Amino acid sequence: MRCDLIAYTPEPELTVAAAARLCYAAIGAQQLQERMERPDVERLIRRLSDSGHWSPFEHASFTFAVEGVSRSLTHQLVRHRIASYSQQSQRYVSEKNFAFIIPPTIAEVPGALAEFERVMAETTAAYERLSAMGIPREDARYVLPNACETKIVITMNAHGLLNFFAHRTCQRAQWEIRDLALKMLTLVKTVAPLLFEKAGPSCETEGVCREGSHGCGRLV
Amino acid sequence: MRCDLIAYTPEPELTVAAAARLCYAAIGAQQLQERMERPDVERLIRRLSDSGHWSPFEHASFTFAVEGVSRSLTHQLVRHRIASYSQQSQRYVSEKNFAFIIPPTIAEVPGALAEFERVMAETTAAYERLSAMGIPREDARYVLPNACETKIVITMNAHGLLNFFAHRTCQRAQWEIRDLALKMLTLVKTVAPLLFEKAGPSCETEGVCREGSHGCGRLV
Amino acid sequence: MRCDLIAYTPEPELTVAAAARLCYAAIGAQQLQERMERPDVERLIRRLSDSGHWSPFEHASFTFAVEGVSRSLTHQLVRHRIASYSQQSQRYVSEKNFAFIIPPTIAEVPGALAEFERVMAETTAAYERLSAMGIPREDARYVLPNACETKIVITMNAHGLLNFFAHRTCQRAQWEIRDLALKMLTLVKTVAPLLFEKAGPSCETEGVCREGSHGCGRLV
Amino acid sequence: MRCDLIAYTPEPELTVAAAARLCYAAIGAQQLQERMERPDVERLIRRLSDSGHWSPFEHASFTFAVEGVSRSLTHQLVRHRIASYSQQSQRYVSEKNFAFIIPPTIAEVPGALAEFERVMAETTAAYERLSAMGIPREDARYVLPNACETKIVITMNAHGLLNFFAHRTCQRAQWEIRDLALKMLTLVKTVAPLLFEKAGPSCETEGVCREGSHGCGRLV
């Protein structure tokens, strides 16, 4: 898996702080663009996150390019609706010799790995044979596995990301999307540490587990 | 593919008309619930659709249960973000002896069909062998193909459905999601013909094709 | 303030439970429509809310007709974006002799009430004089106060409603929108008690206050 | 009215083009960040807009600081739900000596203007008297008019903006929000001319009027 932060709102923390300031102070648009001192930005953003006032966080957007992930992952990912996606199309792009993602539980068991690789080879061959018979890509792809590698560009704002991280960095999240979430979190923390100071599963951020009887037991 | 309309806002046309009436007339909530005569409902809804004032259409929701569709279809489907979905999980539900969707272009070519069915059998066997080795479902499913059958419950409001139909009943839409869209359209037309009087591809509803050089040529 | 529940998904609890069941069990669309016993519905919905798995709650929608509320309220209300609204238009509907909402803190102080009513009368007169001079409604309305009565139709699904109730039934919410939220909650509890069993401010539902130093002190 | 573009995705056109390229070409994330030549960017973005494939436009976000607008305008504005807003609060910020927006139709008629200014002065005085009596701001504001000046920070992505411009640059849109839309359009055209090449009312962009019998007559 590779995940790059390819674009984001410049000075994301300052942008969020400026928007929040407008809500609560009798200032104008001009002052809004004046420099805020770092301690003021910090105090303001911490006040927002302490009071769960996340809407100003939406003014900062982050765009990621992701590759080396499975279509299992992206099918889950795109269920997050407050986000924008552009994904490599299996209708238009050929999947000859497609790459595939191997789950760690399979990689660790030699017999399972051999079985897995055998099926991938079979599937690759079948996709090519169907293509050679004139079956269009959009139909030949029906034989392609969930493991098939895909690429996707994701844009989420900081509010959406916090929600995404709350669900997908949880120990109970599926391993591949959790890996992605942790990588995305590392990247955004580098450029906007304050905005993501409280990012993570709810056991860490609120001391509450929402997995019920399926929880990992960490909070017991 | 099977698609059932399992629930919807009662009297969807009357609900939309009542909401619209409130916008433009000095009436109260009580009058809102009084009977509107059918010709009044018709006139009002046609005025809304003639003027592209779709927001009152959002007060009518429709819930479908769909089965016998592929995960290719659902991966596309859930990209429609103004909607709600509940899908059968491959993490929790075993896919032993899974059913699969055969694209018509493959079904028509005996050699292709044989190849396709062979891969499905191989994949089924591999999934079972991996399961037998103790690989958890959420990882064994990485070998499952796009063709794998899935089930999903979909809720969209009439505004969202009109947008969905505009994109997915187009001749250029992928065949399987187009089939689903046409089935859904038939179902909602039965219970709310006025709301969906103008549903369909933009060539039919507006005399405009938005597929550019990829268009089907119908409007030339 | 008057708030009526004018439409909702029939059998909202059964619809949610059926959708949830599809996610976790190897059942088909036909079985989905078979009767579920009440204890099964209860167990399933409680499991969903215990584990914070709210998405199946989105298949149940509720439509309210509201009148006798101020435009202060609706300006706040429509900030809830996962919802649909149809509001009486001040561009198209005349506001001659408009009704107005009196805040309780003003109603309790005779001097304040007199002042308030005097301004309402002045404003009414000014609106009429501007109209008589030929000023169009959409511009004459610029003199109308926040207190001006408006009417609105609201549709939210049960997931959206739970979020709305979490914010707006809090003691710290503005009094008028809190009144509305409490009325809406009473209405939906009548028809779908299970879905809204855990509705309310986070201090009640999770034992957590998110108002920070602005909290009401109840959880200290 | 003052409208400033205070932040936006750097190189918005390149970001959109890179995301779109990933959908249709067998390239990886690394190549995605390599320079695309300007003619390639132009060709790709025009192909997207010709085919109505707007989703890659969502990867470019734009943040505006707006002041000198009325609460009539913002009440309409925030009905656009695929957007983020931070607005100056009348609950927390005092409106003593508030500024107000004068509709041109009123400014042009001396008698109307005098009437309008008289009401604004009355309202200002009433707000101050109520405040002096100890009425909290959140209730004293019920006397404040729609004309009352407000400030708001808006973030929309390019797809959302195109939809906003389609509705709000139309001759039939309310004058104040149309002014704002035209100012926003001028600003984004400066930094991303390609993305907004086809922005405007549907009569200009598609040769179609959706106002029905309320149309301005331009397309007859």
The enclosing domain of B198 has a CATH number of: 3.30.1360.170
Minimum distance, in Å, between the CA of residue B41 and any CA atom of chain A:
34
Cβ-contact A64, A154 below 8 angstroms? yes
Chain B residues with CB-CB distance to D213 below 8 A: 50-51
Is residue C177 in a domain? yes
Catalytic residue (one of D38, D79, D137, D168): D168
Question: Which chain D residue has the Cα nearest residue C102?
Answer: D142
Q: pTM score, two decimals? A: 0.96
| Same domain, yes or no: B74 and B16 | yes
**Are A23 and D86 within 8 A, CB to CB?**
yes
By annotation, the residues of B acting in catalysis are 168
**Are C147 and D142 within 8 A, CB to CB?**
yes
Is residue C220 in a domain? no
Question: Which chain C residue has the Cα nearest residue B63?
Answer: C59
**Are A65 and D33 within 8 A, CB to CB?**
yes
**Are D119 and C115 within 8 A, CB to CB?**
no
**Are D19 and A55 within 8 A, CB to CB?**
no
| Same domain, yes or no: D28 and D101 | no
Is residue B10 in a domain? yes
Identify the pLDDT of residue D22. 86
Give the tens place of pLDDT for each residue, C99-126.
Answer: 999 999 999 999 999 999 999 999 999 9
Is residue D80 in a domain? yes
Chain C residues with CB-CB distance to A212 below 8 A: 47, 50-52
Quote the number of domains for chain C: 2
Is residue C219 in a domain? no
Is residue D220 in a domain? no
Among B117, B120, B143, the residue to mutate for chain A (most A Cβ within 10 A) = B143
**Are D116 and C85 within 8 A, CB to CB?**
no
| Same domain, yes or no: B75 and B175 | yes
The dihedral built from the CA positions of residue C122, C123, C125 and C129, taken in this order, carries a sign that is positive
Radius of gyration of chain C (CA): 22
Q: Which of the four pLDDT bands, split at 50, 70 and 90, describes residue C220?
A: low
Q: Which residue range forms the structural domain that includes residue A188?
A: 2-67+81-85+156-214
| Same domain, yes or no: B109 and B9 | no
| Same domain, yes or no: D76 and D155 | yes
Give the tens place of pLDDT for each residue, B141-169.
Answer: 999 999 999 999 999 999 999 999 999 99
Among A47, A163, A172, A210, the residue to mutate for chain C (most C Cβ within 10 A) = A210
DSSP state of C55: G
3-state secondary structure chain D: CEEEEEEECCCHHHHHHHHHHHHHCCCCHHHHHCCCCHHHHHHHHHHHHHCCCCHHHHHCEEEEEEEEEEHHHHHHHCCCCCCEEEECCCCCCCCCCCCECCCHHHHCCHHHHHHHHHHHHHHHHHHHHHHHCCCCHHHHHHHCECCEEEEEEEEEEHHHHHHHHHHHCCCCCCHHHHHHHHHHHHHHHHHCCCCCCCCCCHHHHCCCCCCHHHCCCCCC
Cβ-Cβ contacts under 8 Å for B37 (sequence gap 6 or more):
none
Catalytic residue (one of A43, A168, A210, A218): A168
| Same domain, yes or no: D80 and D101 | no
| Same domain, yes or no: C138 and C163 | no
CA distance B13 to B194: 7
Minimum distance, in Å, between the CA of residue C66 and any CA atom of chain A:
26
| Same domain, yes or no: C53 and C138 | no
| Same domain, yes or no: B25 and B52 | yes
**Are C144 and D144 within 8 A, CB to CB?**
no
Nearest to D59 among A84, A87, A151 (CB): A84
Q: Which of the four pLDDT bands, split at 50, 70 and 90, describes residue D10?
A: very high
Is residue D194 in a domain? yes
| Same domain, yes or no: D79 and D104 | no
Look at residue B69 and tell me whether its pLDDT is greater than 70.
Answer: yes
Minimum distance, in Å, between the CA of residue B34 and any CA atom of chain A:
37
Minimum distance, in Å, between the CA of residue C7 and any CA atom of chain B:
7
Is residue A11 in a domain? yes
Give the tens place of pLDDT for each residue, D102-143.
Answer: 999 999 999 999 999 999 999 999 999 999 999 999 999 999
| Same domain, yes or no: A164 and A194 | yes
Q: Lowest mean pLDDT: which of A107-116, B2-11, B197-206, C131-140? A: B197-206
| Same domain, yes or no: D74 and D176 | yes
The residue from D121, D143, D165 where one domain ends is D143
